[in-house]
């Protein structure tokens, strides 16, 4: 992510702008580099998808400049040029000069980012963040810079000039600059970062000391594809035809699905989708307009048109083979004419498994398909020269397959299970979970135990998220606020509560408090689960068989404390709610935390087993598959970025 581009890259636009206000966009996609050996496959597709999305939100294609190494397939009216440094800067100047107060400027970049020593002295960290156009080359000592790179200083000056005239600035960056602490050792993704060696930056170049540049002033919002210490990745879509940046894909899906959302809501929905994706990179957003509505009018709710018997939407819209959709006669409102399953899904369209009911012209996603079995990549050795014998581990690991969920990495005498991006320890040393034998366990026993836990945790997350659908335009029956109470000198006293920011992280002895309120018109049975970096699902609330039923308007507080003892990582809190039947016992979903209990939940001995059994696929229960039947389930997720320290479920508290 381009952290200090913040002042220059992202701004947002409010719906309070005058009716005559215009939106101009400069969209850059750099896939083919003229000098650097660093080509990417996704940026041309990213910039095309972003242009389509902006057009759907009401942005005039005539006011879009798309600078791409492959400008094919763009909306009619878009101006195209190659994404070289001078062309990019000229397009930015032209868009700014044509903008009047109240107008909005959008700057989007998909491609490589990097860092270079700050030679002007305005960076607090000693390094400039840079974007690499198609004609970027290596370090040039004569100019003291990476040749043809675009510096954050230049972007900030461009943004501030526009902001000072009352123009709003939106920046969307699908690139990153930090390679520190990461090693991508396998998997299916490609990181959008270039290290110093490829750019030829000499080790003896020292940044110039000076005073940091002043922050931007004006109306802006910034969305970045990852944190400053994370990589941003691109992946091949499921049908194998095209590559997309993970951030761009999820962001555009959210922008299409949420016509009335604020930038903060868009960021939250995008983050949730990315956490379930191949790489658990965590996007970032900031700026005074973060809580303002996104520009444009958006599409008609969540419904996609049906044309010639085919659904005009596919993988790019978050659909997949086996998903269920309800079909309607109208683009909004009305009763569904039926529910059909998608048969074949490509990037941009899908077929149905049965004939369409008469009059069906629109479709809305009901639920996602059941998750496939857990797939591992072939093991990768982190350090071939470490002299350790890994034969017992490689013999115990299952054979690798395509599109892996996890990448086994042989390191330090054990096996680390990296995400599909193949990055080892992205949150710091040891943050990738290891397979280590318990007392008396053999390597095969340890592998079987950990893989069952991983399969349960990852698949349960998909099942629960899929059962809730996408409903960004409908209000859930629950609201949740999350506070952090920072430790004040040990694990005893804590400081006053403050809103929790996942990007900031949680330290040892800090507490997290959830305030959950039933804002719907019906009682809800609420449960809280916690997914750890090691894929374990832990039950949090209710505990000791306490009541978890919230009447309309009722509130519950649930607290957790971070304790010392484990490494950093990205974890998740799940708040689950099921509408309560006044005449039925409470539903307690904390029982889902146990793989053994979930596997055996077909006996129908209590309300929980009955609830889950109704959603099990009877033809696939041996594989623990889950049905696609619509479930009256609400799921709220909260990311927790742990700093060194740990989480102890025994410290969960309730008021």
Global confidence as pTM: 0.76
Q: Residue 460: helix, strand or coil by DSSP? A: helix
Q: What is the pLDDT of residue 108?
A: 96
Please confirm whether the linkage preceding 542 is cis (ω < 30° from 0). yes
- Hey, which bits of 396-495 come out as E strands? 406-411, 414-419, 423-424, 434-435, 478-485
pLDDT per position as a tens digit, 6-30: 223 333 333 334 445 899 999 999 9
Q: What is the pLDDT of residue 215?
A: 82
Report phi then psi at 432, rounded to 5: -80, 130
- Is 252 in contact with 59 (CB distance < 8 Å)? no
Q: How many CA atoms lie within 13 A of 182 on its CB side?
A: 27
186: pLDDT strictly greater than 80: no
**Farthest-apart Cα atoms in the chain, separation:** 80
> Please, which pLDDT band fits residue 302 given cuts at 50, 70 and 90?
low
Q: Helices (H), strands (E): how many in the chain?
A: 11, 38
Phi/psi region, residue 624 (left: phi>0; alpha: psi -120 to 50; beta: rest), is left
pLDDT per position as a tens digit, 409-454: 999 999 999 988 888 887 778 888 999 899 999 999 999 999 999 9
Q: Residue 205: helix, strand or coil by DSSP? A: coil
Q: Are strands 350-352 and 338-345 parallel, antiparallel or unpaired?
A: antiparallel
CA dist 192 and 174 (Å) reads: 8
Q: Are strands 524-531 and 569-579 parallel, antiparallel or unpaired?
A: antiparallel
State mean pLDDT over 580-584: 80
Give the Cα-Cα-Cα angle 439, 441, 446 (nearest 5 degrees).
Answer: 115
Q: What is the CA radius of gyration of the chain?
A: 25
- Does this chain's domain 3-286 share its CATH topology with 468-654? no
Q: Residue 336: helix, strand or coil by DSSP? A: coil
DSSP secondary structure letter of residue 209: P
100: pLDDT strictly greater than 90: yes
Q: Where are the domains of the chain?
A: 3-286, 304-367, 380-454, 468-654
In the sheet with 243-245, reading across from the earlier edge strand, the strands are 190-191, 233-236, 243-245
> Please, which pLDDT band fits residue 472 given cuts at 50, 70 and 90?
very low
- As a whole-number percent, the residues of the chain with pLDDT over 70 amount to 80
CA dihedral 321, 322, 328, 334 (to 10 degrees): -130
Q: Give 130: exposed, middle or buried? Use CB within 10 Å, 0-12, 13-18, 19+.
A: buried
- Is 363 in contact with 306 (CB distance < 8 Å)? yes
**Treating both helix axes as pointing N-terminal to C-terminal, what angle do 246-257 and 263-275 enclose, rounded to 10 degrees?**
130
Q: Give me 598's structure tokens.
A: 């979930």
Q: Which CATH number fits domain 468-654: 3.40.50.720, 2.60.40.1180, 3.40.50.300, 2.60.40.10?
A: 2.60.40.10
State mean pLDDT over 127-140: 85
According to the per-residue pLDDT averaged within each range, which of 53-67, 210-224, 362-376 is highest? 53-67
pLDDT per position as a tens digit, 245-284: 899 999 998 888 777 889 988 988 888 788 777 766 778 8
Q: What is the pLDDT of residue 310?
A: 96
CATH code: domain 3-286 is: 3.40.50.1460
Q: What is the pLDDT of residue 9?
A: 32
Find the helix or strand (DSSP H, E) in which 89 lies. Answer: helix 85-97
With a CB cutoff of 8 Å and minimum separation 6, the contacts of 169 are 8, 10, 11, 104, 105, 107, 159, 162, 163, 218, 219, 220
- Is 369 in contact with 466 (CB distance < 8 Å)? yes
CA dihedral for 596, 601, 607, 612, sign (positive or negative): positive
Q: What is the pLDDT of residue 462?
A: 80
């Amino acid at each position: 992510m381009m952290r200090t581009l913040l002042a220059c890259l992202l701004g947002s636009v409010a719906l309070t702008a005058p009716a005559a206000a215009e939106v101009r966009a400069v969209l850059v996609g750099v896939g083919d580099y003229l000098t650097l050996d660093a080509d990417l496959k996704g940026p041309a597709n990213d910039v095309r998808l972003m242009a389509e999305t902006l057009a759907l939100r009401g942005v005039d294609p005539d006011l879009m400049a798309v600078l791409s190494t492959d400008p094919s397939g763009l909306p009619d009216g878009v101006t195209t040029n190659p994404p070289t440094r001078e062309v990019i800067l000229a397009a930015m100047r032209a868009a700014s000069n044509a903008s009047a107060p109240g107008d909005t400027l959008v700057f989007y970049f998909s491609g490589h980012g990097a860092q270079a020593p700050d030679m002007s002295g305005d960076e607090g960290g000693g390094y400039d963040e840079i974007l690499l156009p198609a004609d970027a080359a290596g370090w040039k000592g004569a100019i003291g810079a990476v040749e043809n790179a675009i510096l954050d200083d230049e972007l900030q000056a461009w943004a501030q000039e526009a902001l000072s005239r009352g123009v709003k600035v939106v920046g969307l960056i699908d690139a990153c600059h930090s390679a520190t602490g990461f090693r991508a050792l396998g998997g299916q993704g490609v990181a959008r970062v270039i290290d110093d060696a490829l750019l030829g930056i000499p080790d003896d170049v020292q940044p110039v000391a000076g005073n940091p540049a002043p922050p931007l002033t004006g109306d802006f919002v910034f969305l970045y594809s990852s944190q400053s210490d994370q990589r941003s990745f691109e992946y091949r879509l499921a049908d194998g035809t095209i590559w997309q940046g993970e951030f761009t894909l999820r962001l555009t899906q959210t922008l299409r699905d949420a016509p009335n959302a604020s930038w903060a809501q868009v960021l939250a929905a995008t983050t949730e989708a990315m956490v379930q994706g191949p790489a658990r990179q965590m996007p970032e957003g900031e700026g005074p307009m973060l809580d303002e509505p996104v520009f444009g009018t958006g599409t008609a709710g969540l419904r996609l048109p049906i044309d010639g018997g085919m659904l005009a939407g596919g993988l790019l819209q978050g659909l997949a083979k086996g998903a269920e959709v309800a079909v309607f006669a109208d683009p909004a409102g009305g009763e569904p004419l039926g529910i059909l399953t998608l048969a074949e899904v490509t990037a941009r369209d899908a077929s149905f498994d049965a004939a369409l009911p008469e009059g069906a012209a629109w479709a809305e996603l009901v639920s996602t398909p059941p998750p496939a079995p857990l797939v591992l990549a072939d093991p990768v050795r982190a350090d071939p020269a470490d002299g350790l014998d890994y034969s017992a581990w490689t013999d115990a690991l299952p054979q690798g397959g395509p599109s892996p969920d996890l990448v086994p990495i042989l390191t330090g005498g054990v096996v680390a299970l990296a995400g599909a991006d193949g990055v080892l320890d992205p949150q710091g040393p040891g943050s990738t979970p290891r397979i280590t034998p318990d007392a008396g366990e053999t390597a095969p026993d340890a592998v079987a135990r950990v893989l069952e836990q991983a399969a349960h945790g990852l698949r349960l997350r998909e099942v629960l998220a899929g059962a809730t659908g996408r409903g960004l335009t409908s209000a859930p029956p629950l609201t949740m606020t999350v506070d952090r109470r920072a430790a004040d000198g040990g694990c005893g006293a804590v400081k006053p509560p403050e809103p929790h920011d996942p990007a900031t992280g949680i330290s040892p002895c800090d507490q997290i408090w959830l305030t959950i309120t039933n804002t719907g018109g019906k009682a809800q049975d609420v449960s809280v689960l916690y997914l750890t970096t090691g894929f374990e699902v832990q039950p949090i609330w209710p505990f000791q068989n306490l009541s978890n039923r919230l009447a309309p308007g009722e509130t519950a507080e649930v607290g957790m404390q971070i304790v010392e003892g484990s490494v950093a990582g990205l974890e998740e809190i799940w708040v689950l709610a099921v509408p309560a039947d006044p005449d039925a016992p409470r539903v307690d979903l904390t029982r889902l935390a146990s793989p053994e209990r979930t596997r055996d939940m077909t006996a129908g001995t209590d309300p929980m087993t009955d609830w889950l059994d109704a959603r099990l696929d009877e033809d696939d229960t041996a594989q623990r598959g889950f049905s696609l039947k619509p479930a009256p389930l609400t799921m709220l997720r909260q990311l927790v970025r742990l700093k060194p320290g740990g989480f102890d479920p025994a410290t969960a508290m309730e008021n």
